[in-house]
Structure 1
Amino acid sequence: MSSSNPNDDRNPSDAEVSALKENALKTLLSADARLRLNNVRMVKPDLAAMVENYLLGLASQGRLHSQISDDQLKQILLSTQQPKRDFKINRK
């Protein structure tokens, strides 16, 4: 008889995944960059999640060799945002 263990490492809970993600981002981002990402998360949670996944992917591939500064994070945010569309209305 085998009983399932709720603390099984093969199926981490959402809270555990969030904690691991936060710890990884603390090491990847400078304090200013973390603050900026948290501010972005309040306004655009989808954009923040996309950038987090991008940074975690780079780190898992070993392509990040130093902490991401605030200026570098700004560039990443600008490159991932969709361009705004301008609409021009001609009235006659």
Structure 2
Amino acid sequence: MFKSGGLGEELQALKSEASRLLNMHADDMLEAANSRSEALAEPIKAALRELGETLSEEEEHVERLIAARPIAALASAFALGVAIGFMLRRH
């Protein structure tokens, strides 16, 4: 049913972590936060770099499509603008 031994261990771990944080100096806390933020920044930078590359490839693809059929692209953009205008006008 309910095991108090596991809960007691978790509470003791929480207590020791809290006391460690309370006894830590501000400089140490700042250094720990900086190291954690730097560790998290690298994967985010990599994901953004990959997203930028993908978007530039897709932009080139869209430019080729528009260049191949400029009249159809212009008509599609006009129709989309009219549809959005009607939707915004109702609200």
Which TM-score applies when normalising by structure 1? 0.28
| Structure of larger gyration radius | 2
Q: Which has the higher contact order (CA 8 A, sep 6+)?
A: 1
Higher helix proportion: 2
